[in-house]
Amino acid sequence: MKPRNLSGMRLALLCVLLFFSAVSNGAAQDRLSKLEWFIEGGGSFLNLGKQPSEVITEYTDPQQVPTSGFLVSPNRFTSSRLFFTGVRYHLTAKDALEVAYSSSEGNHFELQPTLSDNPVWRSTFERHTWSVNYVRYLSERGALQSFVTAGLGPSQSISYITGFDRTKQSFNFGLGTDFRINERVAFRLEMRDYVGFLPAPLRGASHDLAPSAGLVFSPRTSTRAPARFPQVEVFLQGGASALTGGGAGPYGELIVIYSNGQAPQVYYPVASSKFSKSGRLLAGFRVMFSSNNALELSYSRSPNGNQLQQRVITPPIELPPTQVTLAVVDCAANYVRYVPWGRRLKPFMTGGAGFTDFAGLSSLAVRKFGWNAGVGADLPLWNRLVARFELRDYMAEQPAPATGVVHNIAPTAGLAYRFK
């Protein structure tokens, strides 16, 4: 099941960030920087809530008959890792607005079909949540600055076993605290509760308790030319994509239970994949807070061919390879640091995180947490136009049933236009 096309949501988030940047010179400034970027990791503890003893699987394919079964998960909570990132704009010293994205990809439940000789189904589903939150800061205590927050946004739930893919509104609230390390970096601890709906065949609302910790970056505006910053630039680049393959290994187990009393059979499939080289498109915008510091939101895409080889170890079964063209899409938030170098050439380093979509395998399309790092250089052409050359490595866990981390080496070149 392919993840839902969320280009409209991405555009809305970009517009919100542009608005925040445009008005940053018009409000009272009580902080080192009005706009900050944060990246956090943690856990997702999903409460399945009250479920009926018998549930019915739902299929998007009308040719498949719904299957009755019994929930056999050992408890009502499942857990997985959590990725959390976003930007926060400070209206005053105590009031802020936030645009954030969070994802969890390891929550699961187990279902035993009532029909005999069928395996236990272990359904893993992902949740991707976008939200706009109001943040209220409390009284400072030394280096600690606590806050409470609440907000709304769409939440996408995807279950690859049942074919479920639906986006609905969700609500979240939480509290946290920042510990200021220096004038530009802080350490953040927080806990949020995401209230949303569970994917079929589960029923009702859920509470996703998400503790997380990470870093907050607050670039300081240059005091030499305060009227010139922040500045916004848009860029468009093209180049190549060399996507490496991940390793081969077991990606799960298939359990067959017989009604005649025969011992259950367990099979351990393995898979490996190879990717082809292709072209690469990179687009986005940067917000410059000084001549050396910037934050960036980007979108990149490449149509890489993929050959998937699957086999079962015991008994040895070699399946024919599957060849498809994958649309590999990376959406990322990056910090950019420019390095002084002469008068014209402006080298920079960048690193960030986001998510990677692998679209093209209808039964295996998946969204994964991704991160990237790279180097580049700007060469000014005119007052507002520069030529940009860069090399980035986009990394992500490749979609099941293959295993391992893939590296997408992407050299690109293009133009950037800065609004002054």
What would the pLDDT profile of 277-296 be if each residue is shown by its tens digit? 888 999 999 988 888 889 99
Task: Please indicate whether residue 3 or residue 79 has the higher confidence score (pLDDT).
Answer: 79
Residues 197, 228 within the same domain: no
Residues 414, 327 within the same domain: yes
At residue 29, the pLDDT reads 38
Q: Cβ atoms within 10 A of the Cβ of 119, count?
A: 16
The CA distance from 88 to 34, in Å, is 8
For residue 14, give the H/E element and its range.
helix 7-22
CATH number of the domain to which 386 belongs? 2.40.160.20
- For the chain, the average pLDDT equals 76
205 is in which domain, residue-wise?
1-218
Residues 236, 279 within the same domain: yes
Q: Cβ atoms within 10 A of the Cβ of 45, count?
A: 18
Residues 347, 388 within the same domain: yes
Domain end point (choices 218, 252, 279): 218
Model's pTM, two decimal places? Answer: 0.55
pLDDT at 30 over 50: no
Residues 137, 183 within the same domain: yes
Least confidently predicted of 37-51, 92-106, 344-358: 37-51
The CA distance from 186 to 179, in Å, is 5
Residues 179, 245 within the same domain: no
Q: Taking a C-beta distance cutoff of 8 angstroms, is the pair 375, 346 a contact?
A: no
pLDDT at 39 over 60: yes
The CA distance from 262 to 118, in Å, is 13
Rounded to 5 degrees, what are φ and ψ at 79? -130, 155
The confidence band for 265, taking pLDDT boundaries of 50, 70 and 90, is low
Domain end point (choices 218, 235, 253): 218
The structure tokens listed for 291 are 């001549």
Domain end point (choices 197, 218, 239): 218
At residue 67, the pLDDT reads 57
The confidence band for 74, taking pLDDT boundaries of 50, 70 and 90, is very low
At residue 15, the pLDDT reads 52
| Secondary structure E strands in 114-162 | 121-141, 144-159
Residues 213, 267 within the same domain: no
Number of domains making up the chain: 2
Least confidently predicted of 162-166, 193-197, 384-388, 394-398: 162-166
Residues 104, 125 within the same domain: yes
The CA distance from 42 to 369, in Å, is 13
The residues, ordered by sequence, that sit 6+ positions from 333 with a Cβ below 8 Å of its Cβ are 37, 39, 85, 86, 87, 295, 296, 297, 352, 353, 354
The confidence band for 320, taking pLDDT boundaries of 50, 70 and 90, is low
The confidence band for 351, taking pLDDT boundaries of 50, 70 and 90, is very high
Q: Burial-class residue 195 by CB neighbours within 10 Å (0-12, 13-18, 19+).
A: middle
